[in-house]
Structure 1
């Protein structure tokens, strides 16, 4: 099967053409590297000079695509050139092949060429001097160093700078990718946070509206309908106010306005009273430190709020108990409601409330449980969340 050589790089083609033209110009001027009567010249005359020149030109076409092959063939061409009167351009092109092999060749080849050229330079200087004992013998090592070691060392420096540049570019790309991932995660987390806030703030009011509107439509009692419409109006106004506040936070990107105060556990009494207005029998028992971290207070408040909303939609008739207790560096929130004697929910739900509560607790590295359990002879639905409290988050000190 025929072997297809890779297409030469355009710069390599230009270098090869320039070398060929320069070599022909030197050849045409009759400028050989050595006189015809020198002892090493086995093929005197002008025409033998063209063969190594042509071979070296062909090697230049492969300097980037096949650097090792080009160097091996170029070494043979340089050896052949030394048996003729020689052409300086052929030697210059060989130095370029050494440089290209170190720059574009495999790392192992680059190191091998560098060490071999350095060793050749030392041997080329020491051995002739040791044999002939004349200072002029050191010039052989100098010439070898100029022809072989200097381009190899230059190529090694260029290769190192190129590798460093590539590594820096890859590091910059990785940094940009990580920044984009962080940004996407931040956007996702913010969207999830806003979804939880929107659900927790509005779902309670909308659930009460749905339940009382159903009662107003199903009962033909003016007094009952009036009471239901009163509750509907109160929840509509409060829900609309909450919605406007949230939309204002989303639209206000100037940073001039102070952020709206997050609800705290001090508002649990008002929250329980609102649930009683909506028809729940709520018993609140909250014992906790008045200086809890703001994230813990917000999470506990939202968990109680969502639990009351779920009780309003799903609980059977009976008492809903809300208990908050602080013990051993954590705040435990427990909400129980009667469970199991209702045909269906009083208002539709999507299950997003439980997901939101679980996410809030997970963000604080707490534990969350929700499900039916037996309490005495009754079956109740229990929501239990344990929120860790660290001293660092209270007052900002240990």
Structure 2
């Protein structure tokens, strides 16, 4: 089977060509690296050519190139030698650590260090001359030094790659956080827009349908009055919401967020729109004031429930009940459930989604659906809004 060699990289070709030209120039000038060797200077061309060919594999096959380069360097010691051959071997040693496998990168410096020490001890024991240490130093320069340099370069590259990866991961996490923040803000704005305007638009749609379908001047006049009132209030709330969105101060909450003190006015407005509504506020007037997010959520849930009753409920009584518990506020709204006899406005289901989202944001529970009662079938909306964390209450 023929040996399949990868295509050399451009920088490897350039290094191999430059090294070969320098080695040939040194050989032509008769500048040999060694004297008194069994083989003459012509034989030095063989290791030179082999090492130049192995330079082509320094990046793609570093470990194979190092093994073959070692044999070529040993062979070069029996010839007159060439300085370019020694330099090419050091470069191949360096490349084997930088481009080789992690295991090879750990093993090669240790092996070259052991060989350096062994060569030094062996020459000292053989020659019995301190100058033999110089041969050990030369061995270390040729073998251990490029390997150690390769370790430093490889560690630096790996640290740089790890830092780049961490930066990319940080940027990715930041982008994910930004997308989530934008999505959460868009959902919050959608809830506010729906809750602030849907009630008025529903009343307008229902009363305009009644005015068009009934040939009664008084009914049409009353319907137009309700339409005008809801149009003006809806336009005012829309302008306020647009002002909030254009505000650059970062305060994205309404300047005057509705509270439960405004429930009476909300119920009165629902009666004006044609609903038969009763409000049963069982909260303790002398009790502690509820947190603003709880009051806002409760107000919006009641508002949206009345809007849904206006659009979908059958004729009958709509009840709104608020109950203060030790650590929670409960909101319950019931309306007659069945086929409405009068005109109705279409629904999208966004109201129930918004109420559930408001409740979930406070860590509460939300339920909605038809129920059977002694007075008939009703549609019930029930929400429990925590006033304070349960763990704090447990500590008291």
Please report the TM-score for the alignment, with normalisation by the length of structure 2: 0.93
Q: In structure 2, what is the Cα distance between the partners aligned to 1:253 and 1:123?
A: 74
* Alignment pair present for 1:170 and 2:165: yes
Provide the residue aligned with 1:28 in structure 2. Answer: 28
Larger CA deviation: 239-248 vs 255-264:
255-264
Contact 2:206–2:343 at 8 Å: present in 1 too? no
Q: CA deviation at 1:388?
A: 1.7
Contact 2:314–2:341 at 8 Å: present in 1 too? no
Mark the runs of 5 or more structure 2 residues left unpaired by the alignment. none
Provide, for residues 39-68 of structure 1, a one-character-per-residue CA deviation record: whole Å limited to 9, x for no partner.
xx2212x21111101111111111111111
Specify whether residues 280 and 226 from structure 1 end up closer, same or farther in structure 2 by C-alpha distance, changes over 3 A only: same
Q: What is the Cα-based RMSD across aligned positions, in Å?
A: 2.2
Q: In structure 2, what is the Cα distance between the partners aligned to 1:52 and 1:338?
A: 100
* Alignment pair present for 1:89 and 2:84: yes
Q: In structure 1, what is the Cα distance between the partners aligned to 2:55 and 2:339?
A: 91
From 67, 92, 97, the counterpart of 1:72: 67
List aligned pairs for 1:243-262, cutoff 5 A. Answer: 243-253=238-248, 260-262=255-257
Specify whether residues 255 and 374 from structure 1 end up closer, same or farther in structure 2 by C-alpha distance, changes over 3 A only: closer
* Alignment pair present for 1:42 and 2:38: yes
Aligned length: 389
Specify whether residues 66 and 343 from structure 1 end up closer, same or farther in structure 2 by C-alpha distance, changes over 3 A only: farther
Provide, for residues 273-321 of structure 1, a one-character-per-residue CA deviation record: whole Å limited to 9, x for no partner.
1111111121112216552222222111111110000011111222211
From 203, 207, 211, the counterpart of 2:206: 211
Local SS of the residue matching 1:135:
coil
Local SS of the residue matching 2:335:
strand
Contact 1:314–1:345 at 8 Å: present in 2 too? no
List aligned pairs for 1:266-285, cutoff 5 A. Answer: 266-285=261-280
Contact 1:314–1:344 at 8 Å: present in 2 too? no
List aligned pairs for 1:362-373, cutoff 5 A. Answer: 362-373=360-371
Provide the residue aligned with 2:321 in structure 1. Answer: 323
Provide, for residues 159-191 of structure 1, a one-character-per-residue CA deviation record: whole Å limited to 9, x for no partner.
001000000101111111111111111111111
Q: In structure 1, what is the Cα distance between the partners aligned to 2:384 and 2:67?
A: 75
Contact 2:313–2:336 at 8 Å: present in 1 too? yes
Q: CA deviation at 1:146?
A: 0.8
Q: CA deviation at 1:128?
A: 2.9
Provide, for residues 333-380 of structure 1, a one-character-per-residue CA deviation record: whole Å limited to 9, x for no partner.
111111125368711111111111111112222111100111224211
Provide, for residues 129-177 of structure 1, a one-character-per-residue CA deviation record: whole Å limited to 9, x for no partner.
2444332232232122111111111100110010000001011111111
Specify whether residues 11 and 32 from structure 1 end up closer, same or farther in structure 2 by C-alpha distance, changes over 3 A only: same
* Alignment pair present for 1:197 and 2:192: yes
Larger CA deviation: 210-219 vs 94-103:
210-219
Larger CA deviation: 255-264 vs 5-14:
255-264
Provide the residue aligned with 1:182 in structure 2. Answer: 177
Local SS of the residue matching 2:131:
helix
Local SS of the residue matching 1:284:
strand
Provide, for residues 64-90 of structure 1, a one-character-per-residue CA deviation record: whole Å limited to 9, x for no partner.
111111111111110111110111110
Larger CA deviation: 282-291 vs 15-24:
282-291
Provide the residue aligned with 1:347 in structure 2. Answer: 345
Q: CA deviation at 1:96?
A: 0.7
Q: CA deviation at 1:14?
A: 1.6
From 113, 125, 150, the counterpart of 2:145: 150
Q: In structure 2, what is the Cα distance between the partners aligned to 1:323 and 1:290?
A: 19
Provide the residue aligned with 2:303 in structure 1. Answer: 305
Provide the residue aligned with 1:358 in structure 2. Answer: 356
Q: In structure 2, what is the Cα distance between the partners aligned to 1:131 and 1:330?
A: 93
Provide the residue aligned with 1:116 in structure 2. Answer: 111
Specify whether residues 348 and 341 from structure 1 end up closer, same or farther in structure 2 by C-alpha distance, changes over 3 A only: closer
Q: In structure 2, what is the Cα distance between the partners aligned to 1:304 and 1:258?
A: 19
Q: CA deviation at 1:236?
A: 0.6
Contact 2:315–2:341 at 8 Å: present in 1 too? no
From 88, 101, 106, the counterpart of 1:106: 101
Provide, for residues 188-214 of structure 1, a one-character-per-residue CA deviation record: whole Å limited to 9, x for no partner.
111111111111111100111111112
Q: CA deviation at 1:119?
A: 1.1
List aligned pairs for 1:42-61, cutoff 5 A. Answer: 42-44=38-40, 46-61=41-56
Larger CA deviation: 301-310 vs 139-148:
139-148
